[in-house]
Chains A and B, each alone.
Chain A
């Protein structure tokens, strides 16, 4: 499977600021996904980011709050805008690979908003 990295691995931010999370893959992939995972909870899909098209957001997530870029087949960014303490969470990117687009995850970014 692909090697997936995320930056930063963790950050502590002040409310009202924005943070951009990067996801880098060592091979070209068509499908990338961004998730949020609260401690002790399941994964919640934020959006699907396919290269060459606008990201598709899930119910409850909007582009103004979580803008996503997908400039090429190996890279994507998720920005958490105008942060509040409720945005404190782990943010994970995943990529679809293989014949059936099995999903493989990056290591995650632990975000704390004060």
Chain B
């Protein structure tokens, strides 16, 4: 069946450095790729998304890239800050359906 693999499971970076989280999807029909941030005890929050007709999207310190050929997409966070510490989930649409297939999550730790 369809799946999304997410790496790494834990990422520790120095404050001010960049962080990159990578995901691979299996369904070639997937056309929507959101990223969610979940702080401890809170709901997942949509932080950025990309559609299959776009290769890159940026929003301030956050950017997402998509390689459709390789079925890879990545989240890039620059100039990391303590408030970036959270679990980040990638997801891919189930074909062109509105349902999402979720990655396992990456725990991002920002060291002061």
Contacts and interface: CB of A to CB of B under 8 A. Distances in A.
Interface of A: 31, 33, 41-45, 48, 92, 96, 100-108
Nearest to B89: A42
B51 A100 contact: yes
B34 A42 contact: no
Contacts of A100: 32, 49, 51
Interface in B43-91: 43-46, 49, 51, 89
Nearest to B51: A100
Contact of B105 (A31, A42, A103, A104): A42
3 nearest CB pairs, A to B: A105-B43, A101-B98, A42-B102
Determine the main DSSP class of A at the interface with B: strand
Interface in B17-62: 32, 34, 42-46, 49, 51
Given A96-B98, A102-B34, A103-B100, A43 B89 contact: yes
B103 A31 contact: no
B26 to A, nearest CB: 16
Which residue among A41, A42, A43, A100 has the maximum number of chain B CB atoms within 10 Å of its CB? A42
Q: Which of B34, B43, B46, B105 has the most CB of A within 10 A?
A: B43
Interface of B: 32, 34, 42-46, 49, 51, 89, 98-100, 102-105
Given A42-B102, A45-B99, A101-B98, 14 more contacts: A33-B99, A41-B105, A42-B89, A42-B104, A42-B105, A43-B44, A44-B102, A45-B100, A48-B99, A92-B43, A102-B46, A102-B49, A105-B44, A108-B43
A73 B58 CA distance: 33
Contacts of A107: 42-43
A105 B34 CA distance: 13
B41 to A, nearest CB: 9
A63 B43 CA distance: 25
Contacts of A42: 89, 102-105
